[in-house]
Structure 1
Amino acid sequence: MTRIICHVDANAIPLVDVPGTVYVHLYGSQPVRAGTGSIGNQARDALMRLGAAPRTAAVDLLSIALAVTAADTFIRRADADDSWARDIELHVPLIRPQQWKPFTNDLERMLGFLTGDMWRLELKDGGQRAPTRLDIKDRRAQANISKVDFVSLFSGGLDSGIATLAAMSAGERPLLVSHAYRGDATYQDAVAKLLPAKPERLIVNVHPQIDTEHEDSMRARSFIFLALGVLAADTVSEFKGKMIDLRVPENGLIALNPPLTRRRIGSLSTRTTHPHYLSKFQQIINRVDLRANIINPFEAMTKGEMAKNMVAVPGFESFASATVSCGKWKRKKQQCGRCVPCLIRRSSLYAANVDDKTEYTFPDLHAVLADEENRDDLLSMMTAITRAQNNNLSRWVAQSGPMPEDIARRNVLEDVVRRGLAEVAAFLRDTGLKV
């Protein structure tokens, strides 16, 4: 077990390390000393960017999410007993820990589903206070929430790009929330500039820092993303006096993300927007009276169907090419063309008859298939296509996580997986590959 102990007050961090314990300066700009970590300095600033004071529960949720992100980043999976599932004890300072303690077990189970780790949360006093109206007044607001109809997560990917373009083309006014690690803001800004009008935005890089090797699997990344979205949606809801939607735009195939092969069962397949995870997140925020209605408006659509709906929009081809879908983009700042997200992206634009102007590092899939060291994702996708044709789809999709109890909705979600894989199959066959 590794213990992560977070402090808002840098002076509270001990001067000497304790074996098996990492101290983290929450909302700190940098670690207070060697061997410690820091995270969230920009997040403190973000609390005052909306022009209205966020509520304490929303700030406490953000503090929990920052601490989870620190643990997910600073504890290496390679050091776990099985080189994957970690045993994490996380101490988080909150303003009102008593409000969250009844739901600690729910948070731990939800995080376990999301990351595949064992989580133990210790919620304590001493958290980051919510800014006052005077704090907000003394800072120039960057977002005008009086002009906002809904809040949406905006990654700069094809799905969130299509969702935003469609909404704004229909006259809706979003507040776009972006969690931007180093380098992400560049392409997110490029996509935002291609929208019909300038949207209201909240952009945060939580910037985890430590002087040891980082874990880069990032299975908890959607937790901080959703927490920022909930904070924004709750603040807008309070300002407007009505519940505001927090949209989490993701096509149904990626949202469910059934394991392509037996090796990917469980947390080895990401669950960042899985319906079960979003449902559990909604239940928790409801219990602490945070006002945000979390929805994925595209859970019943494939990526290709999303793209088809946009082909009549002028400039859509260039817009689509500006978005980034690649799971390996951070390494070379270019989309690879051969990872699972890239394969689904390429297939979706092909299905929509959109000229894909994206520059891929590996555009030739025949060459990828011949490369024994780098063809794993392509082979896995080809295996999944065959598996979907020959096996019980319901049982397979359920391996990604619990499905909705409503039979009609469950059938819809299973069918979107079938159609999504059919899009990929058609693209691969027309490329000349045998599937």
Structure 2
Amino acid sequence: MEKTSSQASLRPLGPVRLFFKAPGERRRPPREADVVVHLFEPDAPGLPIFHNFREFWPLRDELAGSVKSFLCFSLGVWAADKLVCRASWPDAWTREIVLEFPSSSDLLKAGQRLAHLAGFLTGDKWDLRPREAPLPLNFGASWPQFGKPTAVVLFSGGLDSLVGAIDLLEEGHRLVLVSHYDYGQLAATQQTLAAALAQNYGRDRLYHLQIRVQLEGPELSLRSRSLLYLALALTAAGAFPTTLPVTVPENGWISLNPPLTLNRLGSYSTRTTHPYFIRELAGLWQDLGLGFGVANPGQDLTKGEMLARCRNLRLLRELFPLSVSCARPVVGRWRRQPAGACGYCYPCLMRRVALHRMGWDRGEHYRVDVLGQASALRHRVQGQDLRSLCLALKTWQENPGAILARLWWGEYKPGETEGFSAPWRLLTTGFQEIANWLYGGGEAAIRNFLGNDGLDALPASYPSD
């Protein structure tokens, strides 16, 4: 690795070595470290991770070591994921990363399991080296409410997390909504939605915990982001005397994330809430004595089904325009346009598919209406994900087994996947939603690309909700 102070110019000549410095740690980073990161400390060597961890509540004594160690592990993986460019590696994807991170004694023997989790998410080869070190993270906030929460929910500001929060509130839960943000517009979206929920259900029913974690880095794929989000949720849950369930609301289509084309196999398609990852993470937490369960209530549902089955459709219809599903909501700034949903990234497309099922899809809500612009399908950038979606639909119509064969299950035993999802039903319903959206509102160019045979084969209606 060429030694450099600029993370943008890291070029591999071997494994990249990242050293995560603990707050106040006097130990000098090893000379062979290619990059050093730290939770922001003035004048500390290396690259700062900016944060507001003071907003966390003090942890239960018996959990503090394991929870803080898992948080540091997740921060280290996330930092390396941002700093090491995939394009510099021989296959332009798979990196070799050595991560040395501070830990209590609780995680010292879990290095291989942690490396397996990180590798499943990112598709990289991880050599994790936890070292015992004090972890003075200084969580000093006070719980401001008179009632204790009954669940912790990840709250991204997207449509799925909005549905998940509404459903749990309708069930009578008192929630901690945990949000991560690294730029202002996302924080504002989360605040607006949380305030609307509090106004509807009462301020004593939820507390919105927004955690900033920010590090500048050149790599944008960020396959490890869910690891950080779950670590933040775990840190919030660990403050309370009872063991709270951690809920990760995401639709099963994105959770399984069937590769649309052959060049999206493996971790090229995200695995952020894949059932195998969730199962392995829950098992690790149990073995560490943490006892927190992790659940995704949308695991067996498409995004359209999640919306259709929401327990308060009136409120969802009122609030969904305030949510953001876009992968690049700030791309408009480069053209001096207001921020907003781009309309052509994969999350925007799947959002529109789901909203079409509800009768709520409006092309004018997006910077680019891919169904209303004849040129969108041919556009090099704006049509990339749309073309992939169309190709996947054609493959499904001609040979559905080919799509099913692309799914990656992790290290399951034969037949074990049946307990985690119903992939055939999920794919059938998901592609039906996609086809109805594309055929129902698409330009002639899209319909011609797909052909009319697929339209004739579509079922007349969805399965009963």
Tell me which interval the TM-score lies in, with the shorter structure as reference length.
0.7 to 0.9
Structure 1, residues 251-278: CA drift from partner, whole Å, max 9, x if none?
A: 0100000111000001111110100111
C-alpha distance in 2 between matches for 1:218 and 1:31: 28
Query: Of 341, 345, 368, which residue of structure 2 is paired with 1:339?
Result: 345
Which residue type is aligned with residue 21 of structure 2?
Answer: H
Question: Mind listing any 5+ residue stretches in structure 2 that lack a counterpart?
Answer: 1-14, 333-338, 451-465
AA matched with 2:150: D
Aligned-pair distance for 1:156?
Answer: 0.6
> CA 1:282–1:30 in structure 2 vs 1: closer, same or farther (change >3 Å)?
farther
Following superposition, the deviation at residue 287 of structure 1 comes to 1.1
Equivalents in 1 of 2:60, 2:363: separation in Å? 39
Shift of 1:400: 6.1
- Within a 5 Å distance, the mapping from 1:335-414 to structure 2 comes to 335-354=341-360, 356=362, 359-365=365-371, 366-389=374-397, 390-392=399-401, 395-399=404-408, 401=410, 405-406=415-416, 408-409=418-419, 412-414=422-424
Deviations 1:280-309 (A, max 9, x none): 111111111112110101111111111112
Identity of aligned residues (%): 29
Tell me the C-alpha RMSD between the 2 structures. Answer: 2.7
Q: Which runs of no fewer than 5 residues in structure 1 stay unpaired?
A: none
**Partner SS state of residue 128, structure 1:** coil
Q: CA deviation at 1:413?
A: 3.2
Q: Go from structure 1 to structure 2 and tell me whether the alpha carbon gap of 1:84 and 1:385 turns closer, same or farther (over 3 Å shift).
A: same
Say which of 35, 39, 44 aligns to 1:22. Answer: 35
**Structure 1 residue 107 corresponds to structure 2 residue 114:** yes
Cα distance in structure 2, aligned partners of 1:338 and 1:120: 37
**Distance across 2 between alignment mates of 1:284 and 1:407:** 19
Of residues 189, 192, 197, the one that matches 2:191 is 189
Question: TM-score with structure 1 length normalisation?
Answer: 0.87
Deviation at 1:122, TM superposition (A): 0.8
Q: Which residue of 1 aligns with 2:7?
A: none
1:425 is aligned to 435
SS of the equivalent of 1:214 reads: coil
Check conservation: 1:251, 1:300, Cα contact below 8 A.
yes
Q: Does 1:307 align with 2:307?
A: yes
Q: Deviations over 1:147-170 (max 9, x none)?
A: 311111110100000111122133
Matching of residues 118-133 of structure 1 within 5 Å: 118-129=125-136
2:260 is aligned to 260
Q: What's the TM-score, normalizing by structure 2? A: 0.82
Paired residue for 2:292? 292
Code of the aligned partner of 2:163:
I
Distance in 2 (alpha carbons) for counterparts of 1:262 and 1:301: 24
Quote the Cα distance in structure 2 between the aligned partners of 1:373 and 1:327.
Answer: 14
SS at match of 2:100: strand
Q: Cα offset for 1:38?
A: 1.8
**Aligned ranges for residues 218-229 of structure 1 at < 5 Å?**
218-229=222-233
Q: Distance in 1 between matches of 2:43 and 2:87?
A: 23
Q: Is the 8 A contact 2:259 2:407 kept in 1?
A: no
> How many Å apart are 1:190 and its aligned residue?
1.3
Measure how far apart 1:410 and its partner are. 5.4
User: What amino acid does structure 2 have at the position aligned with 1:413?
Assistant: P
Q: What is the total number of aligned residue pairs between the two structures?
A: 415
Matched with 1:156 is: 157
